[in-house]
């Protein structure tokens, strides 16, 4: 048994975390087999090409009231003229309840708040499915949870097809032709190029969800070929992986005809004025999504109405969406669970274990208004340390010394051994839900390999072992979630035995993102994102492959990322993964990644558990076994534009019945 070496640091900070001789480090091992937790609602796997296609249909339909109130009065062209030549057609065979009928609304409850509508400039709309519903992206991946891994490639979306050059360095993408923004203005390559040139490549702009040029490969370029064709050029050959980065979060273009005039390159605006040019009160921002924001009441509700130019249909030619309205009640994330099981809300991702038991009890009642089904263990939390020692976030002397500590392998091992993961999991919820999670990939992802996962078991260091003066570490935490706060408080208590005084900096989600992206933190608690639950989505966030891709290690304004040796290995593995087509090689690369990242404690896993989808029973076409999180959140995976409510189950919840969105910037519906 090795003894933890004395850890002491100059750097203006005398820290000695001396562990008494009788206390030993734990030997690295693999994590214990997690308690089996049968995911309910088995996924019905289908072929990738059985979900959708693009084709012209002999006839098209719309809600009768749209024809009567808007087409016959000349306010809108006929539906066939509002659709592209070949709309996206959802195949009936992939719709559990077949083609649907128009009517009703889906009442979301969310814990975030809208900063504004400028997604491309980094503003959040409050999460919880708002931005997912507004944003249509070049490709789509969320529905791929129902496609076997070997058959998986992103689905076409705004990009209806693509061709690789023979040498694999060029990708020609063909955009959907004739689709229009919700204000009737054509969508085309100019929208794609504005997003790329003026929001991703422009170093003064950071789109929401963090797209950077390196998200698509170092040195990658994009150019317009014609109105409906763009061409990617990559340094690597056949980097098919980047098709995932062209899906939601990282390649969802906004309306250039509205945004460009506000951009500093084309106006007298500052970058701040550009970012804030579309405040939450700005209604009817043109979208490619199925619903348009028509009403915003602060701390109360956002209402969205159906987009009359939406470019997707069912096989009978019914223009989608079936649901006329979406509502987002502005509350808390915990309240979302409560309202979904009570029936005053329609949807929740049950992701906070503190609510599991009460939600299960309520949903078990045969008259319960909502279905609740657990999926695989894909919700996890990591403690992430700021590894930058060359200036990211401009730390003061104390902060710099902490970063030096964070970069010390023995320090990280001491911290990970001091985490009592069983106690943390039990503090959230008792029972078979939580599992010991050392960090790295979620055990619910197909790339997970327990034997490649290095786990340093809990060591019960005796309290008061620290020599010298205690070190103070500031830990950033998202106060919007009970679970984030619970875990943070557990870490504070457990670190005391190491003589580490962890002080919480609890802020709301928007503030947390801003502080995190600027590097102004020592440690942070963060719920896992797609790179750890699907691996193929947001893959660049697995390691610092670019100056701004890692969650906890980025470059200072002018510099490089000061990679530690093991991080260089992680970067190499991720770069190889991106250009490897062979599935066995990809699986092996991710086993190597898992071993190196957990052996070196790249992040300190805390706990992981399954989430559950809660959805009101009146909705049809909910895909069986939809996980709340995998390639994306369930708001995307359930494919809301195909969901309907049978006529005899429709409730009168619509707030703007028979209304359509108004003109950009106008208040309210038309």
Give the residues lining the site for ligand BQZ (CB under 6 A). 127-129, 132, 333, 349, 351, 478, 509, 513, 529, 633, 635
Peptide bond into 321 cis (omega under 30): yes
Nearest to 313 by CA among 577, 606, 84, 147: 84
CB of 636 to ligand BQZ, least distance (A): 8
Nearest to 208 by CA among 513, 413, 466: 513
Nearer to ligand BQZ, 478 or 539 (CB): 478
CB of 429 to ligand BQZ, least distance (A): 17
Nearer to ligand BQZ, 456 or 619 (CB): 619
Query: Do 27 and 1 touch, CB atoms closer than 8 A?
Result: yes
Distance (Å, rounded) from C-alpha 272 to C-alpha 274?
5
The dihedrals phi and psi of 567, each to the nearest 5 degrees, come to -70, -35
* CB-CB neighbours of 235 under 10 Å: 12
Distance (Å, rounded) from C-alpha 531 to C-alpha 202?
24
Nearer to ligand BQZ, 311 or 333 (CB): 333
Nearer to ligand BQZ, 531 or 635 (CB): 635
Query: Do 338 and 354 touch, CB atoms closer than 8 A?
Result: no
Contacts of 93 (CB under 8 A, 6+ apart): 50
CB of 546 to ligand BQZ, least distance (A): 19
CB of 517 to ligand BQZ, least distance (A): 10
Nearer to ligand BQZ, 405 or 476 (CB): 476
CB of 381 to ligand BQZ, least distance (A): 12
Query: What stretches of 247-312 show up as alpha helix (H) in DSSP?
Result: 256-259, 271-275
Q: Which residues pair with 525 in a beta bridge?
A: 383
Query: What stretches of 224-326 show up as alpha helix (H) in DSSP?
Result: 242-245, 256-259, 271-275
Nearer to ligand BQZ, 132 or 292 (CB): 132
Contacts of 350 (CB under 8 A, 6+ apart): 337, 340, 356, 359, 372, 374, 611, 612, 613, 614, 628
Nearer to ligand BQZ, 128 or 544 (CB): 128
CB of 541 to ligand BQZ, least distance (A): 11
CB of 129 to ligand BQZ, least distance (A): 5
List the structure tokens of 118: 């400028």
Nearer to ligand BQZ, 351 or 659 (CB): 351
CB of 626 to ligand BQZ, least distance (A): 13
Three-state DSSP at 133 gives: helix
List the structure tokens of 658: 């028979």
105-110 and 325-330 beta bridge pairing: parallel
* Residue 345: DSSP 8-state: S
CB of 351 to ligand BQZ, least distance (A): 5
* Residue 180: DSSP 8-state: B
CB of 536 to ligand BQZ, least distance (A): 17
Query: Do 368 and 362 touch, CB atoms closer than 8 A?
Result: yes
Nearer to ligand BQZ, 318 or 533 (CB): 533
List the structure tokens of 600: 């070196």
Nearer to ligand BQZ, 426 or 513 (CB): 513
Three-state DSSP at 199 gives: helix
CB of 332 to ligand BQZ, least distance (A): 11
The dihedrals phi and psi of 455, each to the nearest 5 degrees, come to -125, 125
CB of 371 to ligand BQZ, least distance (A): 17
Nearer to ligand BQZ, 127 or 521 (CB): 127
List the structure tokens of 91: 């195949």
Query: Do 403 and 653 touch, CB atoms closer than 8 A?
Result: no
* CB-CB neighbours of 199 under 10 Å: 24
Nearer to ligand BQZ, 481 or 593 (CB): 481
Nearer to ligand BQZ, 258 or 613 (CB): 613
Nearer to ligand BQZ, 412 or 526 (CB): 526
Q: What is the side-by-side strand order in the sheet with 312-314?
A: 52-54, 88-90, 312-314
Query: Do 204 and 271 touch, CB atoms closer than 8 A?
Result: yes
CB of 635 to ligand BQZ, least distance (A): 6
CB of 538 to ligand BQZ, least distance (A): 10
Query: Do 445 and 452 touch, CB atoms closer than 8 A?
Result: no
b (16+ CB within 10 A) / e for 114-137: bbbbbbbbbbbbbbbbbbbbbbbb
């Amino acid at each position: 048994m090795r003894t933890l070496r004395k850890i002491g640091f100059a750097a203006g900070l005398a820290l000695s975390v001396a562990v008494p001789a009788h206390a030993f480090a734990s030997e690295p091992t693999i994590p214990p087999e997690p308690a089996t937790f049968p995911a309910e609602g088995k996924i019905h796997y289908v072929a990738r090409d059985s979900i959708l296609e693009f084709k012209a249909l002999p006839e098209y339909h719309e809600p009768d009231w749209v024809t009567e109130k808007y087409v016959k009065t000349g306010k809108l062209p006929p539906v066939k003229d509002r659709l592209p030549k070949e709309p996206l057609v959802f195949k009936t065979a992939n719709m559990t309840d077949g083609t649907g009928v128009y009517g009703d609304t889906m009442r979301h409850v969310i814990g975030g708040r809208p900063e504004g509508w400028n997604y491309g400039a980094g503003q959040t709309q409050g999460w919880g499915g708002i931005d997912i519903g507004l944003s249509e992206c070049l490709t789509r991946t969320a529905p791929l949870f129902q496609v076997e891994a070997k058959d998986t490639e992103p689905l076409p979306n705004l990009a209806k097809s693509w061709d690789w050059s023979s040498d694999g360095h060029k990708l020609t993408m063909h955009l959907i032709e004739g689709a229009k923004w919700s204000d009737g203005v054509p969508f085309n390559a100019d929208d794609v190029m504005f997003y790329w040139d003026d929001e991703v490549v422009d170093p003064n702009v950071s789109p929401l969800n963090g797209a950077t040029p390196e998200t698509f490969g170092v040195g990658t370029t994009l150019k317009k070929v014609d109105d409906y064709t763009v061409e990617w050029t990559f340094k690597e050959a056949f980097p098919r992986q980047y098709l995932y980065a062209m899906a939601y979060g990282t390649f969802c273009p906004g309306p250039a005809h509205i945004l460009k005039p506000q951009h500093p390159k084309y106006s007298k605006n500052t970058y701040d004025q550009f970012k804030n040019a579309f405040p939450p009160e700005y209604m009817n921002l043109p979208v490619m999504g199925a619903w348009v924001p028509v009403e915003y009441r602060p701390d109360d509700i956002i209402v969205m109405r159906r987009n009359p130019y939406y470019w997707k249909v069912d096989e009978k030619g019914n223009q989608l969406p079936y649901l006329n309205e979406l509502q987002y009640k502005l509350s808390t994330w915990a309240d979302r669970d409560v309202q979904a099981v009570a029936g005053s809300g329609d949807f929740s991702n049950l992701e906070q274990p503190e609510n599991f038991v009460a939600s299960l009890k309520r949903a078990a009642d045969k008259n319960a208004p909502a279905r609740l089904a657990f999926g695989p263990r894909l919700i996890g939390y990591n403690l992430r340390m700021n590894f930058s020692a060359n200036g990211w976030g401009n730390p003061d002397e104390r902060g710099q010394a902490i970063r030096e500590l964070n970069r010390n392998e023995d320090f990280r091992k001491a911290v990970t051994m001091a985490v009592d993961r069983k106690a943390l999991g039990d503090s959230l919820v008792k029972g078979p839900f939580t599992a010991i999670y050392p960090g790295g990939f979620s055990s619910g992802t197909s790339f997970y390999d327990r034997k490649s996962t290095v786990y340093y078991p809990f060591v019960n260091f005796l309290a008061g072992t620290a020599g010298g003066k205690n070190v103070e570490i500031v830990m950033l935490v998202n106060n919007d979630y009970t679970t984030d706060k619970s875990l943070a408080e557990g870490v504070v208590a457990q670190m005391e035995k190491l003589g580490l005084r962890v002080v919480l900096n609890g802020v709301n989600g928007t503030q947390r993102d801003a502080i995190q992206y600027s590097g102004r933190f020592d440690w942070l608690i963060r719920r896992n994102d797609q790179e750890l639950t699907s691996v193929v989505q947001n893959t660049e966030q697995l390691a610092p492959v670019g100056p701004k891709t890692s969650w906890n290690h980025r470059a200072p304004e002018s510099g490089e990322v000061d990679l530690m040796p093991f991080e260089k290995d992680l970067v190499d593995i991720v770069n190889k993964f991106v250009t490897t087509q062979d599935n066995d090689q990809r699986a092996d690369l991710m086993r190597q990644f898992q071993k190196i990242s957990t052996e070196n404690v790249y992040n300190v896993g805390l706990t992981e558990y399954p989430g559950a989808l809660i959805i009101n029973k009146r909705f049809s076409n909910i895909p069986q076994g939809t996980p709340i999180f995998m390639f994306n959140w369930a708001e995307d995976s359930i494919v809301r534009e195909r969901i309907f409510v049978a006529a005899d189950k429709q409730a009168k919840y619509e707030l703007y019945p028979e209304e359509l969105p108004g003109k950009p910037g106008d208040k309210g519906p038309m």
